[in-house]
Every structure is written in C-alpha cells, then in structure tokens.
Amino acid sequence: MDCLFCKIAAGEIPSQKVYEDAQMLAFRDIEPKAPVHVLLIPKTHLDGVRALTADNAAVVAHIIAKIPEIAASLGVTDYRVVTNNGAAAGQSVQHLHFHLLGGRTLGEMG
Ligand code: AMP
C-alpha cells in the first residue's frame, strides 16, 4: 500500500521520532502549527477514525494512554489532541493519526 505514514512507521521515510514502541510511533509534524506538534500513529494501517471497530480499536487506547508520558517528555502540560477524519475535516493523510499540539495558547476550535 502506498501510504506515507506506513513508510514512516517502517523507517523507509525519515522522521523526527519522539517516541516509539511495538504498536505506535510519535514523530514531529513537518509543518508544525505550534511549538510542540507531533503526530501519534499506529504502526498498523487504519484509514482513520471511521475505520475503527471494536476489533481494531485497542491500539487507539494504547496511543491515548501514552499521551501524558509523551507530552511530559516534550515539556508540555497543557495540550490539544485532534484527529481529522475525511477531507472536509482536514484529513490529508489517510492513515489514522492524532495531532498533539502544545507550547502556546491554543484558540477555539474552528
Ligand atoms: P492531517 O492533515 O490531519 O491529515 O495531518 C497530516 C499531517 O501530516 C499534516 O499536519 C502534515 O504537516 C503532516 N505531514 C505530512 N507529511 C509529513 C512528513 N513526511 N513528516 C511529518 N509530518 C508530515
């Protein structure tokens, strides 16, 4: 499958990793929207939130449970976690990812 984030997860495309384990990877967004802007992805391919089912969603719990540790390692205590789902919502990469944004005051969501 020709998926950018699968290639990043496999190490075929370089990234600035901030955390990695068997199930997930966290790396810095190439166009950061905040001083801290990292992407949290499952290593296995899922198109996005709309691909989630009771059978494949355990990795999401794992990713979310790791956020406090990853945020602390990046020096932020206040942060936003966002996932875009579908083009009209701003999803440009069709591999499930959570944006972790912090390091500045974040305005209202639009
Ligand atoms: P979204 O638009 O919600 O699908 O988020 C995709 C994010 O991936 C955007 O914020 C991009 O800046 C980011 N991005 C695209 N290519 C790369 C890359 N090679 N390395 C890191 N981040 C990337």
Q: Ligand 1 center to residue 17 CA distance, Å? A: 14
Of 14, 65, 58, whose CA–CA distance to 40 is shortest?
65
Residues noted as catalytic: 97
Q: Ligand 1 center to residue 4 CA distance, Å? A: 9
Q: Where are the alpha helices (DSSP H) in the chain?
A: 4-9, 58-73
Q: Do 56 and 21 contact (CB within 8 A), yes or no?
A: no
Q: Which residues contact 32 (CB under 8 A, 6 or more apart)?
A: none
26-71 per-position pLDDT tens digit: 999 999 999 999 999 999 999 999 999 999 999 999 999 999 999 9
- Calculate the average pLDDT of the chain: 97
Q: What is the pTM of this model?
A: 0.97
108 lines ligand 1 (CB under 6 A): no
Of 88, 6, 101, whose CA–CA distance to 47 is shortest?
6
